[in-house]
Amino acid sequence: MKKLLILAVIAFLGFLYYSNPSFQDHKSEIGSDLVESNTISDELDDPFWKDLDYTNFFICSTTKSTTSKTMVSVGFMWKVKVVDNEWAIKAINP
């Protein structure tokens, strides 16, 4: 019974690792959130994204702003939630 429980925990952790959103998923969610709120209408270029720092915590991931040190988005199980909606405005107009 112990071995089965350990195997189930390992399988569950493996699933969480597999379903962890990538940096590209964070960028696409932040970009779509900006387009929906009419903050930015054009395609965003690479210097805009250089302000973001991606961190992978094995079962969840986050992005934070390197200049203001605030969390921009959080990802868990294929879902990304934008926490700081005003980050893009601060990044464009410092």
Burial label, 90 (beta-carbon count in 10 A; 0-12, 13-18, 19+): middle
Closest CA to 62 of 36, 92, 88, 30: 30
> In the prediction, which pLDDT does 31 show?
82
DSSP reduced 3-state for 82: strand
Q: What mean pLDDT value characterizes the chain?
A: 84
Could you tell me the pLDDT band of residue 62, with boundaries at 50, 70 and 90?
A: very high
Range of the domain at 46: 2-92
Residue 38: the pLDDT is: 61
Q: How far apart are CA 63 and CA 82, in angstroms?
A: 9
Q: Which residues contact 50 (CB under 8 A, 6 or more apart)?
A: none
User: Whole-structure pTM over 0.75, yes or no?
Assistant: yes
Q: How many domains does the chain fold into? A: 1
Q: What is the pLDDT of residue 87?
A: 80
